[in-house]
Structure 1
Amino acid sequence: MQKLILLFSFLLISTGALAQADTSAFAKFNDFNNAVLNGGIKKAEAQKQFESLLKYISFREKVRNEGILPKGNWVFPLKGYKSNAIGGSHGNGYFDKGYRYLDGNKHGAHPAHDIFINDKNQDCMDDHTGKPVDVVSVDDGWVVACTNQWEPHSNMRGGKFIWIYHPASNVFTYYAHNNQIFVIPGEQVKQGQKIAEVGRTGYNAYKKRSPTHLHFSEFKLVDDIPVPFNPYEQLKKAKTL
């Protein structure tokens, strides 16, 4: 009996230590992503760090039996909206030529779809409901990086952004220009869960010439680095909440 009590106590301590390590790992991932954005890390070292951090997240799922299963189709990332809100014609606003994740904030590509809300007066409220528009996670995953801070004079393009890793499909999704975010690094999110509200933060989105929208991207892993992948067909099939 005494041995069982000692074993149980050891497991509790081990689980607590692992939880603390998990929090630390996600915080490191968030710091790493900020370093990439600010150009404060050499590319060779950045690639090593990215690979190491991603392996830890995968290990975390196996150890704690928190595996995320694939859902099939996505839900649309804006509550109450569907694919006809995507800018351009048939998704032609997307172009990823020249984009490299490790270039951080310095690139001229647009590997994303801008999804516009009804907001003629640019107050970040839906003109029909008078309420903010919810940004939701398209699938189950882990929040690996985000920021709820942005100043109008900043040259950072994404403003208040969120990166989510979806281990079941081994992809990342990116949600930018939010007005306010409601998740933190290390949080497990469910498909359709509210993660933010649509806003106008970010270098270009803040300017009056830009209609209020969500900047949405998908990235697949190629040689352990996120590479943009056009999600237009997935967004067209996505379920509206």
Structure 2
Amino acid sequence: MRKIVLLVGILCLTTVGYAQSIDRVAACNKFNTFNNLVLEGGVKRADAQKQFRDVIKQIKASKETVEPKAKWIFPLKGYNYHAIGGNGDGYADKGYRYLDGNKHGAHPAHDIFINDKNQDCLDDRTNKPVDVLAIDDGTVVACSNEWEPSSNLRGGKFIWIYHPERNYFTYYAHNQSIVVKPGDEVQQGQKIAEVGRTGYNAYKKRSPTHLHFSTFRLVDDLPVPFNPYQQLKEAKTL
């Protein structure tokens, strides 16, 4: 009898976990669609706030609360903070508004450059693509693996990840290819993409090959950028 009760308990927990996983994926897919609308412009503030509240609620409901890792993993495999453009001076968040979408001003990000003089998206030292890594555990809430040179989308192929233990988002742009999708749970240091040259300005010859990396906290249920330079300096290289 005890074994039957135990088995029923395990089945119930499995069913609940599966249902929560389905809810998380559905919420992330809904958010992904919403984020695409933001890029096109015209989304109302109240609608955006609701979308952020909903997706965070579903993600937190499907995960156990754990202590965040002490330090990040640097977002480019084989690189460290010395690859950040301008020793961090390229970060400028004044005037940024998430709801401005693709037309937003400012540059609330650090561009992290790879060794790629001939701009073929391969590291000149290894002749291989450079992996983009998740800086910490999280859930992919939005991404795009489609981009054409005729597009005016500045981020190109991008990824948004929500990190529930820290309650903030990370954004990775200009990727050559993406290996995750909305709803995926990722582990710290996991490969999520390969560095590329996608995006309206990143595609042009004048732009060296780089990862555009941003971090955001929620203020009044909307993302507000913060400068992650110190965390990047202290991050571990894989």
* TM-score range for the pair, normalised by the shorter chain length: over 0.9
Q: Find the residue that maps to 1:25 and give its secondary structure.
A: helix
Secondary structure of 2:176's counterpart equals strand
Structure 2 runs not aligned, ≥5 long: none
Write out per-residue CA displacement over residues 110-154 of structure 1, whole angstroms, 9 at most, x where no aligned residue: 000000000000000001100000110111111111111111111
Mean Cα deviation higher: 29-38 or 154-163: 29-38
Count of equivalent residues: 236
Kept after mapping to 2: 8 A contact 1:77/1:137: yes
Secondary structure at 2:112 match in 1: strand
17, 23, 26: which is aligned to 1:24? 26
Give 2:44's aligned residue: 42
Question: Is the 8 Å Cα contact of residues 76 and 238 (structure 1) preserved in structure 2?
Answer: yes
Deviation at 1:9, TM superposition (A): 5.9
Q: Is the Cα contact below 8 Å between 1:68 and 1:141 reproduced in 2? A: no
| TM-score normalised by structure 1 residue count | 0.91
Structure-2 residue corresponding to 1:79: 77
1:137-193 Cα offsets, whole Å, 9 max, x none, are 111111111111111111111100011111111111110000001111111111111
Equivalent residue letter for 1:172: F
Counterpart CA distance in 2 for 1:157 and 1:43 is: 22
The Cα shift of 1:96 comes to: 0.4
Identity %: 68
Which of the residues 171, 174, 179 maps onto 1:182? Answer: 179
Letter in structure 2 aligned against 1:176: A
- Once the two structures are superposed, the pairs formed by residues 6-25 of structure 1 within 5 Å of their partners are 13-25=15-27
**Alpha-carbon deviation of 1:17?**
3.3
Residue 33 (str. 1) matches residue 35 (str. 2) = yes
- The 3 A distance-change label for structure 1 pair 55 and 6 is closer
Unaligned runs of 5+ in 1: none
How far apart are 1:224 and its partner, in Å?
Answer: 1.5
1:14-38 Cα offsets, whole Å, 9 max, x none, are 4443332222111111111111111
Alpha carbons of 1:234 and 1:16: their partners in 2 closer, same or farther (altered >3 Å)?
Answer: closer
What is the identity, as a one-letter code, of the residue corresponding to 1:73?
K
Report the Cα distance in structure 2 between the residues aligned to 1:50 and 1:211, rounded to whole angstroms: 33
Check if 1:141 corresponds to 2:138: yes
| Distance (Å, rounded) in 2 between the aligned partners of 1:73 and 1:10 | 36
Q: Per the alignment, in what secondary structure is the counterpart of residue 62 of structure 2?
A: helix
1:192-211 pair list within 5 angstroms: 192-211=189-208
Residues 71, 18 of structure 1: alpha-carbon distance in 2 compared, 3 angstrom cutoff: closer
Select the residue among 82, 97, 100 that pairs with 2:97. Answer: 100
Cα deviation, residue 195, structure 1 = 0.6
Give the drift of 1:13. Answer: 4.6
